[in-house]
């Protein structure tokens, strides 16, 4: 492998740590991207989590690190929605923390690690004992750390009332020597400084824009037929989980107002872990609108193959090439991976002006159809125009892809990660 010229001195042994490295959640995906970039710079990456699917010879599985481990879940349930915890609960937190410290020390010693990358475990309090353990290990070892923060406690309403404010102040995140803090948007950067006095750098979510996107091939050529669409249908793709903050009701309203039998809304992901009320509401909206919506989560997976019913399973990258339009009407996003994916695959996108988009993405000049919480007639007219004008779609795709290369490519993350390592080890290491 060719070592990138931006590598910082001697290659380092870098350990990624989280509750889970598995599947397609945002933290896992971005951690894998960082590892790919760092490996290309000559470094070696290792993994620790409660559940992980990394290479066995570079991984340390610590089941207690998983946020849904029975012991952890039992304790976490007693910490939020209340304002007081018992001494017994404190003792349980401390007991789990000590066991996790043993796991962290073992991970560091096993792979002779020189840098740690805690992935979100020092930002969002899904696992209080793990955050405390991580903080204490950093304080005790003074090991260099690049803390990668995706979601903070103040960004989630369910953490507002809690019995662990002492722990939140101490470890979510901590301000310690030999720590570089990285956030994924400028709003987080400002809030982290305002609330805790902690400086940070922004490294946005990225995609490998230097590698052209995959297209239609022999495997995915039949996708439209497999999900019941005709070749002349408009495949309007909603490439997100079915959770309330994704604003899928706006996508339904858009398709209703198009009033065209060719318009078919395709939702690629399953419901999240936030209950069934939102899905029930969407089903009511769909019935009232009288539109054609396809939920294809059972046909989309991490790898190609077959599901339990023997049906063909496609990757999300197999679905994108068939899309005519992408809807992304989220109310809130930490960054916006689905937006980047739409740009990468050259698809026009309808995007709600959520705060991070408005501040960090929109000013860069992307060609999109924007809505401000409402599907107006102007939005509908713009969608009709873009669906009926292939040359305009191509023009938008070229412009957007170029901006993706400039602002959200692996090269951008590589430069910024090299700078973080230089801060930790010095330019001449």
**CB of 324 within 8 A of CB of 236?**
yes
Let me know whether 167 and 29 are in one domain: yes
User: Distance of CA 217 to CAs 37, 236, 243, 314, Å?
Assistant: 27, 20, 31, 12
pTM here? 0.91
Looking at the domain assignment, is residue 216 inside a domain? Answer: no
Q: CB within 8 A of 57, min separation 6: which ones?
A: none
Q: Provide the CATH number for the domain around residue 139.
A: 3.40.50.2000
pLDDT beneath 70, residues of the chain: 1-9, 272-275, 427-429
Beta-strand ranges (E) seen in 244-323 are 263-267, 292-295, 305-306, 312-313
**CB of 110 within 8 A of CB of 60?**
yes
Residue 5's pLDDT is 40
Beta-strand ranges (E) seen in 176-233 are 179-183, 201-202
Let me know whether 148 and 241 are in one domain: no
Residue 271's pLDDT is 84
Let me know whether 310 and 381 are in one domain: yes
Residue 276's pLDDT is 85
Let me know whether 277 and 196 are in one domain: no
Helix (H, G, I), strand (E, B) or coil at 347: coil
Let me know whether 26 and 141 are in one domain: yes
Let me know whether 177 and 281 are in one domain: no
Let me know whether 344 and 361 are in one domain: yes
Counted domains in the chain: 2
**CB of 113 within 8 A of CB of 15?**
yes
Residue 119's pLDDT is 98
Let me know whether 350 and 377 are in one domain: yes
Looking at the domain assignment, is residue 3 inside a domain? Answer: no
Phi and psi dihedrals of 149, rounded to 5?
Answer: -100, 125
Tell me the DSSP string of 155-173.
G-GGGSSBS-HHHHHHHSS
């Amino acid at each position: 492998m060719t070592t990138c010229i931006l590598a910082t001195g001697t290659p380092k042994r870098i350990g990624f740590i989280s509750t889970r490295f598995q599947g397609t959640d945002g933290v896992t995906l971005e951690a894998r991207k960082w590892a790919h970039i760092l490996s290309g710079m000559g470094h070696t990456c290792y993994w620790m989590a409660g559940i992980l699917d990394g290479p066995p010879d570079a991984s340390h599985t610590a089941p207690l690190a998983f946020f849904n481990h029975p012991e952890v879940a039992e304790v976490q349930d007693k910490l939020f929605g209340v304002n007081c915890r018992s001494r017994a609960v404190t003792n349980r937190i401390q007991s789990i923390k000590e066991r996790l410290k043993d796991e962290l020390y073992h991970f560091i010693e096993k792979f002779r690690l020189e840098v740690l990358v805690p992935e979100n475990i020092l930002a969002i309090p899904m696992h209080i004992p793990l955050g405390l353990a991580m903080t204490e290990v950093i304080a005790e070892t003074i090991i260099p750390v690049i803390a990668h923060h995706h979601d903070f406690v103040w960004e989630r309403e369910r953490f507002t009332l809690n019995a662990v404010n002492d722990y939140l102040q101490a470890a979510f995140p901590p301000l310690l020597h030999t720590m570089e803090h990285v956030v994924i948007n400028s709003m987080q950067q400002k809030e982290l400084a305002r609330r805790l006095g902690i400086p940070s750098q922004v490294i946005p979510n990225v995609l490998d824009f230097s590698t052209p996107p995959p297209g239609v091939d022999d495997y995915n050529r039949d996708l439209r037929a497999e999900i019941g669409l005709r070749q002349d249908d408009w495949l309007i793709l909603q490439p997100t989980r079915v959770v309330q903050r994704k604003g899928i009701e706006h996508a339904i309203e858009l398709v209703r107002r198009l009033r065209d039998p060719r318009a078919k809304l395709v939702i690629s992901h399953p419901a999240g872990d936030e209950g069934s009320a939102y899905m029930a509401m969407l089903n009511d909206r769909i019935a009232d609108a009288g539109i054609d919506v396809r939920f294809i989560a059972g046909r989309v997976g991490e790898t190609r193959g077959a599901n339990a019913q023997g049906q063909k399973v496609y990757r999300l990258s197999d679905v994108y090439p068939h899309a005519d339009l992408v809807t992304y009407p989220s109310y809130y996003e930490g960054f916006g991976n689905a937006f980047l994916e739409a740009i990468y695959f050259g698809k026009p996108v309808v995007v709600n002006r959520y705060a991070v988009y408005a501040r960090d993405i929109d000013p860069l000049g992307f060609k999109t159809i924007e809505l401000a919480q409402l599907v107006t007639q102007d939005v509908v007219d713009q969608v009709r125009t873009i669906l009926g004008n292939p040359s305009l779609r191509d023009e938008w795709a070229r412009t957007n892809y170029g901006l993706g290369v400039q602002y959200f490519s692996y090269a951008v993350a590589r430069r910024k990660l090299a700078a973080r390592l230089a801060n930790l080890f010095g330019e001449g290491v």
